């Protein structure tokens, strides 16, 4: 809600000219979510400070940007937006100082074009990534960064809010544009829906300094709310601006990109909210979807590389090979998630009938979008069927397939409910072949994870090779299947492969 910009350039009051706001006035600017004020707590020859202050009306805010907007946190009626320097502040800054941002100053063009000593203070900035990220984002731009976390009242812990102070010599217009772009990047959230127009805004505000910024990948991704296609377009355009190498086209994988395109307000969060405000416990009790809420363990982020990385591809390849060996032509992918396996199955004409099942209807929407179902040729589309269903509810629609795949699914099921899953898949649906993959927890040490960390926050367990073999053998024996277990990925002589796969064939 508060940003102060101070300068010690002489005369310091020139700041008012550059900002196009007179130091002796208190100006109010109406905003959709409340009001923005510009005023000067000090204005002397030696030092002049401009303050941009927001008064957020939470009711107007939730009305103006509530459901369907970008930032899920706004759907919580109690949120930090009235106090924090978020995208609201960034938008207000963009509007209130729009001329200053262009670097235009008809009265003092030379002033606007020159760097000046600036000191920027933000008492409360929501930041996903801690003080280190502030350093990483602002230091390359020439700022001396001070960032310290604000403690959580009542808890022996830090909040995600930081008190930030930046000092340095810079063009005011650059400083404003950097804040405009980077505040929502720190927060990793926007209060509005991110559309294709955001690419232009990003290029306009960040063009010069962003193209060479070492963190441009992260900045672009977060600024564009993790929307992949936008990201690619923006990176390409940035590359054209700077001395673009192929390199910059590669978005480095720093963060989990799997799952939900983050812009979409997660219904999981909505669900948490529905049960939440009144009985917040249950919301914490976790309707929140770990794929969407970003609250992954560090380990998961490490392992995250495997998602879109080589291990994930190897896993799909191994599953496909197992399906080919089983000569399966109809396949049901139980827990299809965003549909990566489905898309491979569809590309292979040997699979004449492909069914994807997920318990989350949101995942199925994602599959539809990802596979571009509406534009898929009819011949291919007719081989695909998507169903909402659950592997712990017996379902007659699961019957009649040559093969069922449970790829990285069992570890998301509470151990107490595995027997139900077993009955649903092996006793009721009873396909000729069942392929199960799951992490091998022994391999976690190779990710530098400590013993008790799991690869994903939603994993209910991770089995070592002995446990998986024991479970799979019992299941196979109970239901009359032959079992073959193999590893997927780099086969470490000591700890085995990162993924283990069981192929069950009906005896």
Partner 1 sequence: MPETTVSATAATEISVPELSLVVLIGVSGSGKSTFAARHFKPTQVISSDYCRGLVADDETDQTATPDAFALLNHIVGVRLRRGLLTVVDATNVQRHARAELVKLAKDHHVLVDAIVLDVDPKLAAARNEARADRDFGEAVVRRQHRDLKRSLKGLGKEGFRRVHRLSGLEAVESAAIAYEKAWNDRTDETGPFDLIGDVHGCRSELETLLAKLGWEIERDAGGRAVGAAHPEGRKAVFVGDLVDRGPDTPGVLRLVMGMVEAGNALSVCGNHEQKLVRALRGKKVKVAHGLAESLAQLEIAGAEFRDHAESFMDGLVSHYRLDGGRLVVAHAGLKEEFHGRASGKVRSFALYGDTTGETDEYGLPVRLPWARDYRGRATVVYGHTPTAEPEWVNNTICLDTGCCFGGRLTALRYPERELISVDAEREWYEPVRPLDAAPEREPTTLDFDDVAGDRHLKTDLHGTVKVRAENAAAALEVMSRFADDPRRVLYLPPTMAPVDASALDGFLEHPVQAFDHYRERTRQVVCQEKHMGSRAVALVCRDPETARGRFDLDAGPAGAVLTRTGRAFFEEDALTDELLARIARAAEASGLWDHLGTDWMMLDCELLPWSAKARELVEDQFASVAAAGIAALPAAREVLDAAAARGLDVADLASRTEERQANIEAFAEVYQRYCWPTDGLEGVRLAPFQILATEGKNRADHRHDWHLGLIDALADADGTGTLLKTARKFVALGTDDERAATDWWTELCEAGGEGMVVKPVMETRRAGGRQVQPGLKVRGREYLRIIYGADYTEPEQLQRLRQRHLGHKRSQALREHALGVEALDLLASGAPLWRIHQMVFAILALESEPVDPRL
Confirm or reject binding of residue 134 to partner 1 (CB under 8 A).
no
Q: Which of 144, 152, 399, 477 binds partner 1 (CB under 8 A)?
A: 152
Residue 299 CB, shortest distance to partner 1, in Å, is 18
Rounded Cα distance, 186 and 168, in Å: 20
Would you say 1 or 112 has its CB closer to partner 1?
1
Q: With contacts defined by CB under 8 A, name the span among 168-176, 233-241, 270-278, 308-316 that binds partner 1.
A: 270-278
- Residues in the interface with partner 1 (CB under 8 A) total 80
Q: Counting beta carbons within 10 angstroms of the beta carbon of residue 396, is it exposed (0 to 12), middle (13 to 18) or buried (19 or more)? A: exposed
Confirm or reject binding of residue 37 to partner 1 (CB under 8 A).
yes
Q: In the stretch 398-437, what mask flags binding to partner 1 with x, by CB under 8 A?
A: --------------x-x-xx--x--xx---x---------
Q: Which of 69, 87, 124, 205 binds partner 1 (CB under 8 A)?
A: 124
Rounded Cα distance, 506 and 183, in Å: 57
By CB under 8 A, the residues from 325 to 364 that bind partner 1 are 359-361
By CB under 8 A, the residues from 203 to 222 that bind partner 1 are none
Residue 360 CB, shortest distance to partner 1, in Å, is 5
Rounded Cα distance, 224 and 230, in Å: 7
Q: Which residues contact 113 (CB under 8 A, 6 or more apart)?
A: 103, 171
Confirm or reject binding of residue 40 to partner 1 (CB under 8 A).
yes
Confirm or reject binding of residue 127 to partner 1 (CB under 8 A).
no
Would you say 51 or 253 has its CB closer to partner 1?
51
Would you say 122 or 176 has its CB closer to partner 1?
122
DSSP 416: G
Would you say 5 or 488 has its CB closer to partner 1?
5
Peptide bond into 11 cis (omega under 30): yes
The SS3 of residue 407 is strand
Q: With contacts defined by CB under 8 A, name the span among 8-16, 53-61, 210-218, 307-315 that binds partner 1.
A: 53-61
DSSP E strands, 269-377: 330-334, 353-358
Residue 147 CB, shortest distance to partner 1, in Å, is 13
Q: In the stretch 230-269, what mask flags binding to partner 1 with x, by CB under 8 A?
A: -------------------------------------x--
Confirm or reject binding of residue 174 to partner 1 (CB under 8 A).
no
By CB under 8 A, the residues from 284 to 313 that bind partner 1 are 284-287
Q: Which of 348, 388, 448, 470 binds partner 1 (CB under 8 A)?
A: 388
Would you say 203 or 271 has its CB closer to partner 1?
271
- The residue with tokens 């208190």 is 26
Q: With contacts defined by CB under 8 A, name the span among 104-112, 121-129, 446-454, 467-475 that binds partner 1.
A: 121-129
Closest CA to 296 of 443, 455, 123: 455
Q: Which of 13, 69, 87, 390 binds partner 1 (CB under 8 A)?
A: 390
CB 44 within 8 A of CB 37: no
Would you say 281 or 466 has its CB closer to partner 1?
281
Rounded Cα distance, 80 and 153, in Å: 14
Would you say 372 or 397 has its CB closer to partner 1?
397
- In 10 A of CB 147, how many CB atoms? 20
Rounded Cα distance, 15 and 27, in Å: 15
Confirm or reject binding of residue 150 to partner 1 (CB under 8 A).
yes
Residue 292 CB, shortest distance to partner 1, in Å, is 13
Confirm or reject binding of residue 6 to partner 1 (CB under 8 A).
no
CB 289 within 8 A of CB 260: yes
Rounded Cα distance, 431 and 405, in Å: 10
Would you say 41 or 109 has its CB closer to partner 1?
41
Q: Which of 32, 274, 305, 308 binds partner 1 (CB under 8 A)?
A: 274
Q: Which of 30, 106, 110, 157 binds partner 1 (CB under 8 A)?
A: 157
Q: Which residue(s) pair with 166 in the sheet?
A: 120, 145
Rounded Cα distance, 278 and 276, in Å: 5
Q: In the stretch 76-115, what mask flags binding to partner 1 with x, by CB under 8 A?
A: xxxxx-xxxx------------------------------
Confirm or reject binding of residue 279 to partner 1 (CB under 8 A).
yes
The SS3 of residue 405 is strand
The SS3 of residue 153 is coil
Would you say 206 or 356 has its CB closer to partner 1?
356
Would you say 1 or 441 has its CB closer to partner 1?
1
Would you say 126 or 489 has its CB closer to partner 1?
126
Q: Which residue(s) pair with 434 in the sheet?
A: 404, 504
Rg (CA), the chain: 27
Rounded Cα distance, 347 and 193, in Å: 33
The β-bridge relationship of strands 34-43 and 27-31 is: antiparallel
Q: Which residue(s) pair with 384 in the sheet?
A: 354
CB 374 within 8 A of CB 394: no
Confirm or reject binding of residue 480 to partner 1 (CB under 8 A).
no
Closest CA to 189 of 94, 90, 117: 90
Q: Counting beta carbons within 10 angstroms of the beta carbon of residue 40, is it exposed (0 to 12), middle (13 to 18) or buried (19 or more)? A: buried
Residue positions counted in the chain: 507
Q: With contacts defined by CB under 8 A, name the span among 120-128, 177-185, 224-232, 481-489 that binds partner 1.
A: 120-128
Q: Which of 159, 236, 251, 308 binds partner 1 (CB under 8 A)?
A: 159
């Amino acid at each position: 809600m508060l940003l102060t910009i101070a300068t010690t350039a002489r005369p310091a009051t020139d700041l008012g000219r550059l900002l196009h706001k007179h130091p002796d006035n208190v100006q109010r600017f109406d905003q959709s979510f409340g009001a923005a004020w510009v005023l000067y707590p000090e204005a002397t020859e030696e030092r002049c400070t401009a303050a941009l202050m927001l008064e957020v009306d939470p009711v107007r805010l939730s009305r103006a940007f509530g459901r369907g907007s970008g930032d899920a946190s706004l759907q919580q009626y109690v949120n930090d937006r009235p106090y924090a320097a978020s995208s609201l502040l960034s938008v207000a800054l963009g509007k209130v100082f729009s001329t200053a941002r262009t670097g235009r100053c008809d009265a003092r063009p030379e002033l606007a074009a020159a760097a000046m000593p600036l000191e920027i203070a933000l008492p409360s900035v929501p930041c996903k990534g801690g003080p280190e990220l502030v350093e990483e984002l602002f230091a390359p731009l020439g700022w001396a960064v001070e960032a310290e976390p604000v403690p959580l009242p009542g808890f022996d812990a830090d909040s995600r809010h930081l008190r930030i102070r930046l000092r340095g010599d810079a063009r005011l217009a650059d400083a404003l544009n950097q804040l405009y772009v980077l505040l929502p990047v720190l927060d990793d959230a926007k209060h509005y829906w991110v559309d294709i127009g955001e690419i232009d805004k990003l290029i306009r505000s960040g063009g010069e300094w962003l193209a060479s910024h070492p963190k441009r990948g992260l900045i672009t991704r977060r600024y564009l709310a993790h929307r992949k296609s936008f990201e690619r377009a923006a990176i390409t355009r940035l590359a054209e601006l700077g001395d673009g190498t192929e390199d910059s086209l590669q978005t480095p994988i720093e963060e989990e990109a799997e799952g939900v395109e983050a812009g979409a307000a997660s219904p999981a969060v909505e669900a948490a909210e529905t049960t939440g405000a009144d009985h917040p416990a249950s919301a914490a009790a976790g309707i929140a979807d770990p794929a969407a809420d970003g609250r992954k363990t560090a380990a998961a982020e490490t392992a995250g590389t495997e998602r879109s990385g080589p291990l994930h591809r190897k896993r799909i390849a191994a599953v496909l090979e197992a399906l080919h060996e089983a000569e399966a032509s109809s396949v049901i992918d139980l827990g299809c998630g965003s549909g990566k396996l489905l898309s491979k199955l569809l590309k292979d004409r040997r699979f004449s009938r492909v069914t994807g099942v997920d318990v989350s209807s949101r995942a199925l929407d994602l599959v539809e979008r990802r596979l571009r179902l509406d534009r898929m040729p009819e011949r291919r589309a007719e081989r695909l069927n998507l169903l909402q269903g659950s592997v712990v509810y017996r379902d007659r629609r699961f019957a009649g397939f040559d093969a069922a795949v449970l790829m990285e699914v069992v570890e998301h099921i509470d151990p107490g409910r595995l027997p139900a899953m077993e009955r649903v898949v092996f006793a009721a649906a009873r396909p000729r072949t069942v392929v199960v993959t799951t992490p091998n927890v022994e391999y976690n040490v190779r990710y530098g994870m400590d013993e008790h960390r799991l690869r994903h926050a939603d994993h209910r367990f991770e089995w070592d090779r002995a446990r998986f073999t024991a479970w799979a053998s019992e299941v196979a024996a109970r239901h009359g299947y032959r079992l073959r277990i193999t590893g997927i990925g780099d086969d470490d002589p000591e700890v085995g492969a990162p993924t283990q796969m069981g192929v069950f064939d009906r005896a």
